[in-house]
Amino acid sequence: AQTVTQSQPEMSVQEAETVTLSCTYDTSESDYYLFWYKQPPSRQMILVIRQEAYKQQNATENRFSVNFQKAAKSFSLKISDSQLGDAAMYFCAFIIQGAQKLVFGQGTRLTINP
């Protein structure tokens, strides 16, 4: 069975600082996709960043970047220059190539301290 584990239920960071959210997953498949979704207080799920498992290069989107360690099945999210608008629940997720279902982690609540 595929699982995603986010071991940090809550994290906080000072505005303008950098924070890293952890995520590990378990699958026996080799072809899959990984995602970080953000859910702000509005509860609208927003795609932050995605990573194809076959790519060795870590994905980046402006202030957001990932550290993808395929052998370790680790997929952490780094947020640089944290802003107040980054405060949200962050969900790590993955999907097997060709599969229907997206598997979510438990989420990490990120607080930004001004």
Q: Segment contacting other proteins (CB under 8 A): 15-23, 55-63, 69-77, 103-111? A: 103-111
CA dihedral (12, 72, 80, 86) positive or negative: negative
Binders of other proteins among 40-99, rule CB under 8 A? 42-47, 50, 91, 95, 97
Structure tokens at 55: 């790519």
DSSP at 104: E
Q: Out of 11, 24, 70, 104, name the contact with other proteins by CB under 8 A.
A: 104
Are the C-beta atoms of residues 15 and 113 closer than 8 Å to each other? yes
Binding region for other proteins (CB under 8 A) = 33, 35, 37, 42-47, 50, 91, 95, 97, 100-102, 104-107, 109
